[in-house]
Structure 1
Amino acid sequence: MGAKKIKKLLHKLFTLNDTPKKIALSFAIGVFISITPTFGFHTILAIIIAFLFQLNKISIIIGTLLNNPWTTVFVYALSYKIGALLLNTKLNVINNFSIDFLLHKGLHIYLITWFGSIIIAIPVSVFFYFIVKFVLEKRKKIKNEVNEIA
């Protein structure tokens, strides 16, 4: 994703017609989804969750773009490392990587990665919730002040 596309998505996010709280919450949940090891299903999960909880669909989808093909390997590797560290697991994935290893330990690796991703996703999502909410509220305040002057 290039700088132009990111700028366009941020502009879209910050000009949505919804409350700052709802846009920020939707974005944060999208970020949370993006960090979980559900690559390929982020958008589908986001749309389902948006419909179930009446969230802002565009904001939640933009949030899922935080983890993309350029960042996925790093996010999932970090998730696995954190999960393995906290669960005190001693799987040597790199040295034992083979089809046989994946068949026998794949689910175990996936569950460790899930655990680690949740540990990462919670603070990252909360951080983005407050940042997006702050920017949207500031933008709304400035817009209201400009309208009062005009």
Structure 2
Amino acid sequence: MVFKRRDPRPPLRALAEFIYPRGGWTRAFHYIRHRIRRLPDTPERIARGIWIGVFTSFTPFYGLHFVIAFILARLMRANVIAALMGTLFGNPLTYVPIGVVALQTGHFLLGSEYSEAESRSFLELLSDATADLKNNLLALITGHEADWHGLIQFYDDVFFPYMVGGLIPGVIAATVCYVLTLPVIRAYQISRRNRIKAKFEAIKKKAEVQADAAGAPD
């Protein structure tokens, strides 16, 4: 598998490195950039995969970004690995600004308002929605009456505005990343091909020199 590690990490260590990667976010960024540039595909497909990954990070489907990016990459004939790596645009350093921009944009487009100072906090709404989901699943077995109030409020105040509001900034951020990465990947691939070609020509020339030396009379 592409992302399988040789040394499996304990869950707590994996969570800690997700929040702050070993070596820092700068090193992680350079590693991802290096891996993306070396992907064996056309620059257009790789950049299109990055577009998909960045756009997906602006959706409220946390925990499913990899799945959504994979499906979109297949549908749009983009590089799947680039799409999966592009979802890392959404990380612990960017989740908060992405969420704030998406929520504010969504409520503006929907003509509604949402302020944590006047309404319940995001964590409280999420907690109520999670409790409703758990209780309603148990209600299917126990026969108790289901209560969807918490889920409905979370959907109205957070999820739907987030989903609507994430479209515009998501498209903008993804397009900017596409425009910036396409020429970089194209130039890198051309440079890499030239380096490989020059290396083979040097090996060929060295072999010819050795052959001429071996065939020359004493």
Give the TM-score of the pair, scaled to structure 2: 0.62
Q: 2:165 aligns with which of 116, 136, 139?
A: 116
Give per-residue Cα distances to partners, 1:9-43, cap 9 Å, x unaligned. 11000111100000000110111001111111101
- Whole-Å separation in 1 of the counterparts to 2:68 and 2:154: 22
Structure 1 residue 80 displacement after superposition? 0.4
1:106 aligns with 2:154: yes
- Structure 1, gaps ≥5 residues long: none
Partner of 2:40: 17
Q: How does 1:69-80 map to 2 (within 5 A)?
A: 69-80=92-103
CA–CA separation in structure 2 for the residues paired with 1:12 and 1:23:
11
Q: C-alpha distance in 2, partners of 1:144/1:116?
A: 42
Distance 1:35 1:95 in 2: 25
The within-5 A match list for 1:19-58 is: 19-58=42-81
- Opposite residue 186 of structure 2, the aligned amino acid is E
DSSP 3-state at the match of 2:57: helix
Distance 1:91 1:127 in 2: 29
Q: In terms of mean alpha carbon deviation, does 50-59 or 39-48 score higher?
A: 50-59
Contact 2:37 2:189 (8 Å CA) reproduced: no
Larger helix proportion of the pair: 1
Compare 46-55 and 127-136 and name the one that shifted more. 46-55
Rounded to whole Å, the distance in 2 between the matches of 1:53 and 1:82 is 26
Q: 2:118 aligns with which of 86, 95, 99?
A: 95
CA RMSD of aligned residues (A): 2.2
Cα offset, 1:138, TM superposition: 1.7
Gaps of 5+ in 2: 1-20, 130-148, 202-218
Between the aligned residues of both structures, percent identity stands at: 25
Q: CA deviation at 1:105?
A: 2.2
Residue in structure 1 matched with residue 191 of structure 2 by the alignment: 142
1:125 corresponds in structure 2 to 174
State the secondary structure of the residue aligned to 1:95. coil
Q: Residue 7 of structure 1 aligns with which residue?
A: 30
Is contact 2:106–2:163 with CA below 8 Å preserved after alignment? yes
Residue 62 of structure 1: aligned partner: 85
Larger-gyration structure (1/2): 2
Show the counterpart of 1:82.
105
Aligned residues: 150
